[in-house]
């Protein structure tokens, strides 16, 4: 039996779907969500490491205008929502998605 899409996302995000600065929700591009859904329908998403799924959505947040924030205590990238992102964080986001 395949895992539910929502369960995979909850495991992958583990609270990291919030702005690293204000703690508010961050946007994710529709293309990133669609790609994750397509991978799930094909049976590939549940075989991905949770960090890989999180990175897929993190890149979707960068595409949606978020900036790259400081890493968390475990060294994982975090994002800052568009209103909180500094100019430098937005430059790094652009470089990562260009």
Q: Give the whole-angstrom CA distance, residue 53 versus residue 63.
A: 16
Residue 62, CA distances (Å) to 8, 20, 44 in order:
21, 13, 23
Q: What pLDDT was estimated at residue 27?
A: 93
Rounded mean pLDDT, 70-98:
91
Conformational region of residue 48, where left means phi above 0, alpha means psi within -120 to 50, and beta covers everything else: beta
Q: For residue 9, give both structure tokens.
A: 């996302």
Q: What pLDDT was estimated at residue 1?
A: 45
Instruction: Give the three-class secondary structure for 18.
Output: strand
Comparing 1-5, 29-33, 63-67, 85-89, the range with the smallest average pLDDT is 1-5
């Amino acid at each position: 039996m395949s895992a539910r899409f929502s369960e995979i996302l909850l495991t992958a995000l583990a609270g990291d779907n919030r702005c690293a600065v204000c703690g508010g929700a961050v946007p994710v591009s529709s293309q990133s969500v669609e790609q994750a859904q397509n991978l799930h329908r094909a049976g590939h998403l549940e075989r991905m490491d949770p960090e890989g799924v999180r990175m897929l959505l993190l890149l979707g947040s960068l595409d949606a205008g978020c900036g790259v924030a400081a890493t968390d205590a475990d060294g994982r990238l975090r994002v800052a929502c568009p209103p909180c992102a500094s100019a430098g964080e937005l430059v790094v986001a652009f470089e990562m998605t260009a």
